Amino acid sequence: MTRLRPLTRPAALRTLDRLLARLPEPVEARVRDRLGLDLFVVVAVVVVALRLFNRTPWTPVVLDMHTYWATGAGISYAQSNPYEIGAYLYAPAFAQLLYPLTTIPWPWFAALWTAAIAAVYIWLVGRWAFPILLLTGAVALELYLGQIDVFIAAAVVIGFRYPVAWAFPLLTKVAPGIGLLWFLFRREWRNLAIAVTATVAIAGVSAWLAPGLWHQWYDLLRRSIMDKQVVEGAYLGIPVWARLPFAVAIIFWGARTSRHWTVPIAVLLAMPILWINVFTLLIAAVPLREEFGLTPARAWLLRERLLPGTVKTKPVAAPQAG
């Protein structure tokens, strides 16, 4: 059995602890437990309202989530640049799943999609929601674009308990599927089989419904690997071939030492292009590390006995004798 070293809180968190310790105890408790979450909820409600009422610049057609909504009118992979902003690049299964939502007006879809991102984000990071939003451009950009990285981060966390969740990243951005090496390196063959079988089953049904689209998507994947691509936009220019060995090594080390938080890091390093918003994937590490305290996702992981520790509950007072 591997003995883990005690975790040390990062310097930034220790500084924050010292600042909060100067506040009166009731105020300190309120700030620690609620302020970061409450501020984010206010921000999310405002953004959702702006999108619902179609206010500029919150619902332009250049947003990624507009691309998802527009799949209701049809998909064409043939002319898509694999690294073109605004192109639909995911498997047809994702668009087929979203189809019922594409029948509602675009502002309604934008508002609903944003609310879903905010809810999943809160589940993952809890009281850290506003500080992470404020201090990282990645999450702010993710919220604006309506990208799916928050959902992929949640799938990584959920996938430790329900491997079927890995079908989502595999049928969208594909590269996050490197996280399945966790099961391989730990020899968790049942979990690996469930993840692969679920993905193949969903893909099979989707391909039966739209075989032509799947041929086009395979061709898109081939072009993304074989053809020279022009990338536009803000990204970190480290080629994926230089990052992949580190991704595999990190996930191997994490799997052999039960460090679940290494999986989001490996997933990030395996992404073909490191767009700024893609760093949002790292929020999956928040519930997987003890230093950040109890978030809704971490509480769930502890209840499922997937992480060491227990969920602390307030003691219930014994009833007094009459």
Q: What is the pLDDT of residue 225?
A: 79
Identify any residues that bridge with 21 across adjacent strands, giving them in sequence order.
none
Q: pLDDT at residue 322 above 90?
A: no
Helix (H) or strand (E) holding 121: helix 106-125
- C-beta of residue 288 within 8 angstroms of C-beta of residue 264: yes
pLDDT of 319: 44
* pLDDT for position 4: 44
CA pair distance 246, 230, nearest whole angstrom: 25
Three-class secondary structure of residue 38 per DSSP: helix
What confidence tens digit (pLDDT) does each residue in 114-145 have? 999 999 999 999 999 999 999 888 999 999 99
pLDDT of residue 185: 98
Rounded mean pLDDT, 212-237? 79
Residue of 122, 125, 117, 121 whose CA lies nearest to 287:
125
Q: What pLDDT is attached to residue 92?
A: 96
Q: What are phi and psi of 162, to 5 degrees?
A: -125, 90
- What confidence tier does 235 reach under pLDDT thresholds 50, 70, 90? confident
In sign, the C-alpha dihedral spanning 248, 253, 254, 256 is positive
For 105-118, what is the mean pLDDT?
98
Q: What are phi and psi of 220, to 5 degrees?
A: -60, -45
For the segment 228-241, the average pLDDT, to the nearest whole number, is 73
DSSP state of 318: P
How many residues belong to the chain? 322
In the three-class reduction of DSSP (H, G, I as helix; E, B as strand; rest coil), residue 267 is classed as helix
DSSP state of 155: H
Label residue 6 by pLDDT band (50, 70, 90).
very low
Residue 200: the pLDDT is: 98
Using an 8 Å Cβ cutoff, are 71 and 98 in contact?
yes
Q: With bands split at pLDDT 50, 70 and 90, how would you rate the model's confidence at 299?
A: very high
pLDDT of residue 196: 98
* Residue 214 identity: W
Here the tokens at position 29 are 């408790």
> Has residue 226 got a pLDDT over 50?
yes
pLDDT band at 321 (very low <50, low <70, confident <90, very high): very low
CA–CA distance from 98 to each of 49, 69, 126 (Å)?
22, 8, 27
| C-alpha distances in Å from residue 120, one per residue of 136, 149, 150, 241 | 17, 11, 7, 31
What is the tens place of the pLDDT at every residue in 248-283?
A: 999 999 999 999 999 999 999 999 888 899 999 999
Q: Rounded CA gap, 152 and 284, in Å?
A: 9
Tell me what the mean pLDDT of segment 11-21 comes to.
Answer: 62
* C-alpha–C-alpha distance, residues 63 and 55, integer Å: 14
Between these two residues, 8 and 285, which has the higher pLDDT value?
Answer: 285
% of residues, the chain, pLDDT over 70: 81
Regarding predicted confidence, which is higher, 67 or 237?
67
Rounded mean pLDDT of the chain? 87
